[in-house]
Chain A
C-alpha cells in the first residue's frame, strides 16, 4: 500500500530525514517510535504533503501512485489521513461545514454525488457514536477552544468520517489523560479493517497497550535504526532511548 524508498528530507538546508525505507501493507498497524527530534513528525507531515519540507532524494508510492507528486488535498482524497499532533484551531469555520465540504470532496473524487444535508447529518451522528464523541464538539468552530483531549478526539472523529486507507496518527496520545486515550484508541481500533492500514507515531509505549502494532520501528536521527515486533516497544519503555543512541554512536 505504502512504499517509502530512501527518503531524504530537509528544512531550510538542514537534513531531517536521511534515508527512510518503509513498507506498509493493508491490514497492518505500524508503530514508529523514537526520541524527540528524530524526525517522526517530519515524516508524517511529508506524507501528508506539507510544503515546508524539501524532499531531496527518494520516492514514496501509495497504491502504486507517486505520492510526492500530489497536492495535499489529492493525497487526502486518495486515502491518506494525517491525525495532527497539534490540530489547528480555525475560528469561524464550523465543524459541520468543514466536514461536509471534506466528505463531499472525497465523494466527488470517487465519482459519487454529494450527500444531502440530512444524509450528511445522519452520517455524522453515526460516526460520533462510533467514536464516542460528545455531540457538542461538532457544533463549534473547528477545534476552537477545544481542550487537548477534545482536539485529539475530533481528529479521530474526522478519520471516521473520511474512512482513509492509511491513517498516520502523529503523537495522537500526547496530552491525553487515560480516559481520552482509551476513547481515541477504541476509535482507531473500531475503524480498523483488513483493507486499511495505520501508522502510529508515538514517543511512549502507553498508546500501544491499546492499539497493538504488528511492527514497531525506531526512528533515530533521520533513519529507521531498528524494526521488530511489538515486544520492541516494551523494551524501549523499559530501557529508554539511550541504548539506541549508544548503538548508533552518539
Chain B
C-alpha cells in the first residue's frame, strides 16, 4: 500500500504537470486561488488519522488507487436527459445534470425559473457573472485548514453555480444530479457555489450517484452564502455503489434572520465523508442541520460537522441518526462553537445510533465549545439497540417480530426524514428508506429520486 507521502507527491506531480490544463478555461480569480490552495495542500496533504478531525476515517485506502483525472470537460456520448427523467409523482423539479464533476453540456434550458435566477456551470459563471462569482468564490471554504478543501481548490475546474437574486422565491426545488459515468476508474473534483440573496427563497436537492461500476472518488466542495432574511434548504442524497468514495465538504455562511435547513441522507457509498461547516455570522439566524445514514456491509460513513455561533441570538438544531449493520463503520463528530459574547445562543445537538450487528462500529464525538454564559446548549449521543419494550408492545398487538423491528427501525429513521420541507420528496425518501431497510434495494443504479429505472 502506498504511504501518504507518495499520494501527496502524486498530487504535486499532477498539479505541476497538468498546470496548463488546469489554468485553461478558468478565470483569473479561480487560478489565483488555485495557486495559493496548492501551496496550502503542499503543507497539509491528504488528511490522515493523525489529524484529530479525521481520527475515525482512514483516507489512505481511498486515495491509494490509480484514478483517471479529467482536467478538461469530456462529453458523455449519450443524452443523459433521456436516461434521467424524474418520475416521482408531484415531485416537480428544475433538474440539471453534472457528469463527473462537470456541468453537463447538453442540459435542457430551465425555462420555468423566475427572472434573474442563474443556474449554470462554475466555469461559465466565473466568466459571465464575475461580480457575483468573485465576491463569494473561495471566501467560505478556507484552504489552510483542511487538506481536502485545499486539494479541491487546487484542482477545481467546474461544478454548479446557483444564484437567487434579491426577493426572488423559487417555488419548485432545483434538483442537481451528479452522475459518475466513465469507462475507467475516476477521480472527480467538483466545486459548487450557491448564492442566495436577501429575502430570497430556494430549495436545492443534490443527488449523487454512479452510472457504471468503476471505482470513483469524488472530492467536492460547496460554498453557500445565505443573505438577510433568506430561506434556504439543501437536501443531499448519497446513493452510490460500494466501490465509491464520496468526500463532500459544505460551507454555509448565514446572515441575519436567515433560515437554513440541510439534510444529508446517506444510503449507499463505499466510503462517505461529509464535512459540514456552518457559520452564523450575523444575529437572529436559524440553522437546522440534519442527517441520516443507513450503512451495511463494509461501508463507512463519517459525518463531521461544525456549527459556529459567531454572533448572539442565533438558534441551531442539529440531529444525526444512523443504523449500522454487518461490518459497517460509522463516525459522527459534531462541534458547536459559541464565541465570546454570542449571548442568547440556543444550540442543540444530538446523535443516535442503532447497531444491528456485532461487527458494526460507531464512534461519536458530540462536542461543545462554549465561551459565552447566557446560552442554552445541550448535546446528547446514544448507541444502542431497539427498545425491547416497544418491540413487545407492537408484538402484543399482533404484529410479528420482523415487521415490528422494521417499523421501529423505520420510525427511528423517519424522525430525520420528517424534517424535509418538500412534501413529495419526504414521501419519496420515506419509501426509499423503508425499502432500503427491508433490503429491497441493494444499490439503485440511477438517481435516488428516479429509482424506478
A interface residues with partner B (beta carbon < 8 Å): 48-51, 71-73, 75-77, 81-82, 84, 87-93, 97-98, 101-102, 105-106, 109, 141-142, 158, 162
Select the residue from B395, B396, B411, B415 with max chain A CB neighbours within 10 A.
B396
The docked-state distance in angstroms from the alpha carbon of A3 to that of B311 is 69
CB contacts under 8 Å to A, within B57-114, are none
B397 on interface, CB distance cutoff 8 Å: yes
Instruction: Please indicate the chain B residues that have their CB under 8 angstroms from the CB of A75 in the complex.
Output: 396
B interface residues with partner A (beta carbon < 8 Å): 387, 389-390, 392-401, 403-404, 407-408, 410-415, 418
Starting from the known contacts A48-B396, A73-B400, A162-B398, 14 additional A-B residue pairs (CB-CB under 8 Å) come to A73-B396, A73-B398, A81-B396, A88-B389, A88-B390, A89-B390, A93-B410, A93-B411, A98-B399, A101-B403, A105-B403, A141-B411, A158-B397, A162-B397
Given contacts A101-B407, A105-B400, contact A84 B393 (CB under 8 A): yes
Instruction: Please indicate the chain A residues that have their CB under 8 angstroms from the CB of B397 in the complex.
Output: 73, 76, 98, 102, 158, 162
Question: Which of B395, B410, B412, B413 makes the CB contact (< 8 A) with A73?
Answer: B395
How many Å from the CB of B350 to the closest CB on chain A? 13
Question: Which of B393, B394, B395, B410 makes the CB contact (< 8 A) with A92?
Answer: B410
Instruction: Please indicate the chain B residues that have their CB under 8 angstroms from the CB of A158 in the complex.
Output: 397
Which partner residue on chain B sits nearest A48 by CB separation? B396
Question: What are 14 A-B contacts with C-beta separation under 8 Å?
Answer: A49-B396, A50-B392, A51-B392, A71-B401, A72-B395, A73-B396, A75-B396, A84-B393, A90-B394, A98-B394, A102-B397, A102-B399, A109-B398, A141-B411
How many Å from the CB of A217 to the closest CB on chain B? 23
Instruction: Please indicate the chain B residues that have their CB under 8 angstroms from the CB of A77 in the complex.
Output: 398
How many Å from the CB of A131 to the closest CB on chain B? 16
Instruction: Please indicate the chain B residues that have their CB under 8 angstroms from the CB of A48 in the complex.
Output: 392, 396
Instruction: Please indicate the chain A residues that have their CB under 8 angstroms from the CB of B411 in the complex.
Output: 90-93, 141
How many Å from the CB of A166 to the closest CB on chain B? 13
Instruction: Please indicate the chain A residues that have their CB under 8 angstroms from the CB of B410 in the complex.
Output: 92-93
Select the residue from B389, B408, B413 with max chain A CB neighbours within 10 A.
B389
B412 near A92 with CB under 8 A, answer yes
Instruction: Please indicate the chain B residues that have their CB under 8 angstroms from the CB of A93 in the complex.
Output: 394, 407-408, 410-411
Instruction: Please indicate the chain A residues that have their CB under 8 angstroms from the CB of B389 in the complex.
Output: 88
Which partner residue on chain A sits nearest B389 by CB separation? A88
The docked-state distance in angstroms from the alpha carbon of A49 to that of B393 is 11
The docked-state distance in angstroms from the alpha carbon of A71 to that of B413 is 27
A105 near B390 with CB under 8 A, answer no
How many Å from the CB of B433 to the closest CB on chain A? 11
How many Å from the CB of A140 to the closest CB on chain B? 12
Instruction: Please indicate the chain A residues that have their CB under 8 angstroms from the CB of B399 in the complex.
Output: 73, 98, 101-102, 105
How many Å from the CB of B419 to the closest CB on chain A? 12
Question: Which of B395, B415, B418 makes the CB contact (< 8 A) with A76?
Answer: B395
A102 near B398 with CB under 8 A, answer yes
Which partner residue on chain B sits nearest A84 by CB separation? B393
* 5 pairs of A and B residues whose beta carbons are closest in the complex: A92-B411, A76-B398, A72-B395, A102-B397, A88-B393
The docked-state distance in angstroms from the alpha carbon of A105 to that of B408 is 17
The docked-state distance in angstroms from the alpha carbon of A73 to that of B390 is 13
Instruction: Please indicate the chain A residues that have their CB under 8 angstroms from the CB of B413 in the complex.
Output: 92
A88 near B398 with CB under 8 A, answer no
How many Å from the CB of B397 to the closest CB on chain A? 4
Instruction: Please indicate the chain B residues that have their CB under 8 angstroms from the CB of A105 in the complex.
Output: 398-400, 403
How many Å from the CB of B145 to the closest CB on chain A? 37
How many Å from the CB of A244 to the closest CB on chain B? 30
